[in-house]
Amino acid sequence: MENRILGLHHITAIANNAKRNLDFYTQVLGLRLVKKTVNFDDPGTYHFYFGNETGTPGTILTFFPWEGIGQGTNGAGLATHIGYSVPKGSLVFWKSRLQQFNINVEESEIFGEKLISFKDPDGLQLQFIESSTPDDRKIWTTDDIKDENGLKGFHNVTLTLKKADPTIQVLTDILGYDLQKQEGEKYRFATDAIETANLIDIIENDKIPFGKNAAGTNHHIAFRVANDDILMEYHEKVMSAGLNITPKIDRDYFYSLYFREPGGVLFEIATDNPGFTVDEPLNELGQNLKLPKQYEAMRAQVEKALPKLS
């Protein structure tokens, strides 16, 4: 792989109830629970990873389901919309399926691509988009959701900003994205380092209030690099641009750096290595509670503190 940002690695959002969150993403949307672990800083809270069979970077949506955190508000300074790539012709299926679960669906279009928009049980804004570019990523299927309809992984993510230029400078000068299209206050940036999960959209509107980060909002978005060496090259690039960035952090399934871009959105850069099969085999992903090493000796207390999922 190239010595570049390879699109999106994962997106992390906040939920208000662990069981409801788990049921919606696995049973309604048909994603695989790839990893069931806990928040590194709060072991009494789950950290769920949903994606395709192997948890391929670019397919992974993760959640901190903080019980009782309260409702967040989308707004400026947040990643406000998550776009999934779905097969051509599948929007009819998804509209019907979501309506069966009493979920309101809106049909629209962005940059010439048809989509449906809806919210998850916490109010997180999701979009299913028929991509205009080929997408051959392998779909995780269920009894209800087969290859012709399943979610392929991320297509884009939308940042809502009061002022776009400082964020655009980070995307282009540091992360290697280029402006692909613009329609009024909407911008689309792309990287040609990879063909999927490679789009960042921006909505610029100085009249939108700042968002409140709680349930139903995105906590951060993570960009993908192939390995630790490339990760640390980006550490130097971000530092050289005058932005504060964390040291390298071991997240068990990848290594990470975090920095807040000038528009307020928390960015992460994450590695492909070591991946989700480092602590359980592929056929058992998500079935067992996996704990960060520092909490393993406290497993009984942690399990007792976690919300019930059944």
Sheet holding 218-225, edge to edge: 32-39, 42-51, 60-65, 8-15, 218-225, 266-274, 254-260, 249-250
| Residue-level pLDDT at 310 | 86
- Chain-centroid distance, C-alpha 181: 22
Q: What is the pLDDT of residues 187-242, one digit of tens each?
A: 999 999 999 999 999 999 999 999 999 999 999 999 999 999 999 999 999 999 99
- In the Cβ-directed half-sphere of 224, how many Cα atoms lie within 13 Å? 27
Q: What is the pLDDT of residues 10-57, one digit of tens each?
A: 999 999 999 999 999 999 999 999 999 999 999 999 999 999 999 999
Residue type (1 letter), 92: V
Rounded Cα distance between 156 and 189, Å, is 9
To which residue do tokens 């999106």 refer? 8
Confirm whether pTM is higher than 0.85.
yes
Q: What is the pLDDT of residues 239-294, one digit of tens each?
A: 999 999 999 999 999 999 999 999 999 999 999 999 999 999 999 999 999 999 99
Q: What is the pLDDT of residues 148-179, one digit of tens each?
A: 999 999 999 999 999 999 999 999 999 999 99
Q: How confident is the model at residue 1 (pLDDT cuts 50, 70, 90)?
A: low
| Residue-level pLDDT at 77 | 98
Nearest to 124 by CA among 65, 172, 171: 65
Question: Which domains, from first to last, does the chain contain?
Answer: 8-305 (3.10.180.10)
Q: What letter does residue 28 receive in the DSSP assignment?
A: I
* Residue pair 237/231 in contact by the 8 Å Cβ criterion: no
Rounded Cα distance between 117 and 80, Å, is 12
Q: What is the pLDDT of residues 78-132, one digit of tens each?
A: 999 999 999 999 999 999 999 999 999 999 999 999 999 999 999 999 999 999 9
